[in-house]
Amino acid sequence: MSAEKTKKTPDKRRKYDDAFKAEALRLASESRSTQAAAQQLGISPKLLYRWQEAKLVAEVGSVEVARDPEVRQLRAQLKRAEQELDILKKALVIFGQPTR
């Protein structure tokens, strides 16, 4: 048997541009399930989790701080508070309009 037939070609990895990654991270943050978002995009959930962790590490500056449970809890509380604030702002606009 020749060496060419036994030699396997390496798998080619897909490259994703920054715009796709940003959109994927946005979709995952808006979705209740990161796995569902990954499935919708046709990518591995592990890949999406890695992108999320890389983004968090870039924001915080350290892997240890990014993985700290207290920091994770505080970030989740902040996210919920920001969502509540957005809802209240929209409600203020809707209910603040004079009736005709």
Q: What was the pLDDT predicted at 1?
A: 46
What does the DSSP 8-state code read for residue 75? H
Cβ 48 vs Cβ 24: under 8 Å: yes
> Is the pTM for the entire model greater than 0.85?
no
What does the DSSP 8-state code read for residue 33? -
Cβ partners under 8 Å of residue 54, min gap 6: none
Minimum mean pLDDT among 3-17, 50-64, 72-86: which range? 3-17
Cβ 66 vs Cβ 53: under 8 Å: yes
What are the pLDDT digits (tens) for 6-31? 555 556 778 888 899 999 999 888 88
Residue 98 φ/ψ, nearest 5 degrees = -70, 145
Average pLDDT taken over every residue of the chain: 83
- Quick check: helix, strand or coil at residue 100? coil
